[in-house]
Structure 1
């Protein structure tokens, strides 16, 4: 709040407590404790991401980034009745968590995530997973190749331009053609996209390298005309470790022309945590929401420095860590 930074300690002096604190029922260690901890920041932030992206019941949603914020953004979209929720990342444990809440996980190391989501939206609307090593993806790719051959084209998906792949899929699928009203074309993307990564986005071709514009560029391609982009991932005006001089000042080259032509809205900003806390608290109490599913580790405070290092390095298995004190 204001100039006051957050803290992690057994006891904390809270400034302006009447305004800053939110009343919670129960007692320490009860069934709600882990869920209530998520109210301090990450659950409101994930929910606010859906507001930035104007998520509504029945709309398809794509969330790029399966960290704690991205997972809770996907969870919030599901709670609000989104038709489909895709979660894009490359860390298997986080993608499995996305699947566990009913989202469709997309591993961007397998292929262009935009092409994969469009293919799933066009031909496999009920597919439940695209995870590394599973047969589902091979079945999808084989289906696309078969559709291409049925209209007289010999298409090898692994070597194909994704745009050609999608066009063939749509042209060769009678169910899709019949579902269109006269003069209409089914939009194959999503209406709501969420960037839950920010300037530390991984390059799709080389995940060991940062590419700050990767996620936003992919989302601009994926979001349908008149759709909505919510940017909850952090972008900063001062990044001394960036890869070039412009990026060090928070200046990036973005596909603004395509964004403008599509008539997309863009929402950004820091989360009004206090505003959202009472509603999300009541959802937890009512049993509607259980955001603690993202917790992967519970540690004593002495282990916090090492846990921070593991989380910063995106070590597999580290999704959300909570600190526990002796009662």
Structure 2
């Protein structure tokens, strides 16, 4: 939204996170309420989006809670319009001993590469190049144009970290992002 997107969709199933997305002007899509591709296409006259971002990675889960490592990537291939782009900042591992199947355990995913190619989609992956963006983002924050602190739901002392992480992991209300204060 900071760089001019006319509409930003945020797909999740956690009510707190969906409310946070709406609070900054994004359109919240609850994937537990139906296919997110259909929901987004309904809101874009069947076109889909120009771009998509996988910020989840290999721990993506279906509405049932079942881990499906390629779910977000495949959803993006379906929802991003032809010649659009997909950015992947979600974490993918070359080995995952806790994966739901033997291929995912080796970092091999069943990915719709044929559909990606057919639609002429571009894909970029990897960790953020912090040095490229840190001064730009800092300036947006100091100018009051970006306020990333909206995601912080709690500030707790460091010794509260184990319980806070468990509550965050269970997606409990009020635990969208916890900032730990070592001196508190």
TM tier, smaller: over 0.9
User: 1:153: which partner in 2?
Assistant: none
Structure 2 residue aligned with 1:178: none
Give the structure 1 partner of residue 14 of structure 2: 91
Instruction: Please list the CA deviations of residues 217-270 of structure 1 after superposition, one character each: whole Å capped at 9, or x if unmatched.
Output: 111011111000111110001100111111101101111111000000000011
Instruction: Return the TM-score normalized by structure 2.
Output: 0.95
Structure 1 position 111 matched with structure 2 position 31: no
Q: Which of 108, 115, 125 pairs up with 1:251?
A: 108
Tell me whether 1:82 sits opposite 2:16 in the alignment.
no
Structure-1 separation of matches of 2:85 and 2:145: 26
Task: Please point out which of 158, 161, 165 is paired with 1:304.
Answer: 161
Cα deviation, 1:6-44, whole Å, max 9, x if unaligned, reads xxxxxxxxxxxxxxxxxxxxxxxxxxxxxxxxxxxxxxx
Distance 2:84 2:172 in 1: 34
Higher Cα Rg, which structure: 1
Structure 2 gap ranges (5+): none
Give structure 1 stretches of 5+ with no counterpart.
1-77, 123-186
Cα distance between partner residues in 2 of 1:255 and 1:275: 31
Deviation track 1:125-160 (CA, whole Å, cap 9, x = no partner) reads xxxxxxxxxxxxxxxxxxxxxxxxxxxxxxxxxxxx
Work out which of the residue numbers 59, 83, 86 in structure 2 matches 1:226: 83
Name which structure has the greater RCO, CA cutoff 8 Å, separation 6+. Answer: 1
Cα distance between partner residues in 2 of 1:289 and 1:119: 29
Kindly indicate whether residue 69 of structure 2 is the aligned counterpart of residue 212 of structure 1.
Answer: yes
Looking at structure 2, the residues matched to 325 and 257 of structure 1 have their Cα atoms a distance apart, in angstroms, of: 49
Secondary structure at the aligned position of 2:60 is classed as coil
Structure 2 SS opposite 1:226? strand
In structure 2, what is the equivalent of residue 29 of structure 1? none
* Structure 1 residue 314 displacement after superposition: 2.6
* Distance in 2 between residues matched to 1:294 and 1:115, nearest whole Å: 27
Cα offset, 1:311, TM superposition: 2.0
Aligned length: 184
CA RMSD of aligned residues (A): 1.3
Distance 2:68 2:174 in 1: 23
